[in-house]
Amino acid sequence: YVLKDNEFALDNLVATVRRAISNRKTRVLVVDDVVSVRQVLVDLLKAQQYLVVEANSGLEALAALEAYSDIELVVTDHHMPDMSGYELTRRIRHRFGSDRLRVIGVSSSNDRMLSASFLKAGASDFVYRPFVAEELQCRIANNAETLAQMRQLRAAAACDYLTGLYNRRYFYDNGPKLVNECLRLKVPSSVAILDIDHFKRLNDTYGHEIGDKVLKAVANRLFTIFEGSDNLLSRLGGEEFAILFPQMDSAAATKLCDEIRSDISRLKVTADDEELGVTISIGIAEIEGYETFENYLNAADQFLYMAKHRGRNQVFS
């Protein structure tokens, strides 16, 4: 694999994903028990290019939130037969944080304390009827924008800046959840730590920039291999990567990792006029009981040490 032409593929991919995230249409749930009143809101939102889901009661709204996991905004009436808008807001806040789902109350009530009640229950905004369409549109747009900013922050916090892979934080936040799910299903899972061989020597010989280029090339290749799979790939730091293999025992993970090792050993990175080769060593531990996530990573690290000790460019499990 000569990466000369596609070594920036990952940068492009990350940029594409970011654009996709920010240009995505926002799905809004409109809750009102009176069809004609609801329709006014629906038309208003559709004209603004929002995706709209409708519910005519609080219970229907909660069901819609289960059915559509991408709803980000709820615009709800207050006076409804089975559940008030205020109560619906309170229940929504039990399940969804305001960093993922915003609630906007709309009511024709004369009770001037209602907006405060909504905001206290966790609504982000409240508008009294009759409202000025443009004001409601602006409030909805502001909330949608805040959510988009939150999404970008979350993506940035999960992403390793040099390689675009998931970072250590994301790995430690999500790895234990995947492991626990496997333990619950009583199926094995495995964790691998990959480390580039003699990377310090490469840095010392060719300079830090070439070192970065090799790191990106390895990351790019790993990304391509694992794209779309259930395995969790991340850069732990430095020239170390970790992969969690849910539902894979040590034997299967070892076989796969040896193919990856062999694949990486054929990678060529251009440095000035030279084509540099790179090798990696891998340690793999199987997860079989309720130990801490850290313990499993330590076990994989011990096996990695063995792979290095035995001459590098190999897998040890």
- Residue 18 to residue 96: CA distance in whole angstroms: 23
Choose among 158, 182, 186, 162: nearest CA to 172.
158
Q: How far is the CB of 72 from ligand GH3 (least distance, A)?
A: 36
The closest residue (CB) to ligand GH3 is: 211
160 binds ligand GH3, rule: CB under 6 A: no
92-100, 183-191, 198-206, 244-252 -> range binding ligand GH3 (CB under 6 A): 198-206
Q: From Mg ion, ligand GH3, none, which one binds at residue 137 (CB under 5 to 8 Å depending on kind)?
A: none
On whether the CB atoms of residues 274 and 228 are closer than 8 A, the answer is no
- Residue 202 to residue 210: CA distance in whole angstroms: 8
Choose among 38, 129, 125, 113: nearest CA to 89.
125
- Residue 245 to residue 280: CA distance in whole angstroms: 18
- Residue 125 to residue 131: CA distance in whole angstroms: 13
20-28, 181-189, 191-199, 296-304 -> range binding Mg ion (CB under 5 A): 191-199
Q: From Mg ion, ligand GH3, none, which one binds at residue 10 (CB under 5 to 8 Å depending on kind)?
A: none
Count, residues near ligand GH3 per rule CB under 6 A: 17
Catalytic (active site) residue 239? yes
195 binds Mg ion, rule: CB under 5 A: yes
312 binds ligand GH3, rule: CB under 6 A: yes
Candidates 60, 72, 239, 286; catalytic one: 239
95 binds ligand GH3, rule: CB under 6 A: no
46 binds ligand GH3, rule: CB under 6 A: no
199 binds Mg ion, rule: CB under 5 A: yes
* Residue placing its CB nearer to ligand GH3 in the complex, 18 or 308: 308
| Distances in whole angstroms, Cα of residue 146 to Cα of each of 10, 134, 143, 149, 298 | 27, 18, 5, 5, 40
* Residue placing its CB nearer to Mg ion in the complex, 72 or 239: 239
Q: From Mg ion, ligand GH3, none, which one binds at residue 215 (CB under 5 to 8 Å depending on kind)?
A: ligand GH3
Residues 54-93 that bind ligand GH3 (CB under 6 A): none
Tokens at 119, concatenated: 């905001």
* Residue placing its CB nearer to Mg ion in the complex, 79 or 308: 308
Q: Return the axis-axis angle of helices 35-47 and 133-158, rounded to nearest 10°.
A: 60
What x/- string results for residues 270 through 309 when contact with Mg ion is judged by CB under 5 A?
----------------------------------------
Q: From ligand GH3, Mg ion, none, which one binds at residue 162 (CB under 5 to 8 Å depending on kind)?
A: ligand GH3
Residues 232-271 that bind Mg ion (CB under 5 A): 239
Q: Return the axis-axis angle of helices 250-265 and 208-226, rounded to nearest 10°.
A: 130
**Annotated active-site positions, please?**
239
Q: Which residues bind ligand GH3 (CB under 6 A)?
A: 162, 195-201, 203, 208, 211-212, 215, 238-239, 308, 312
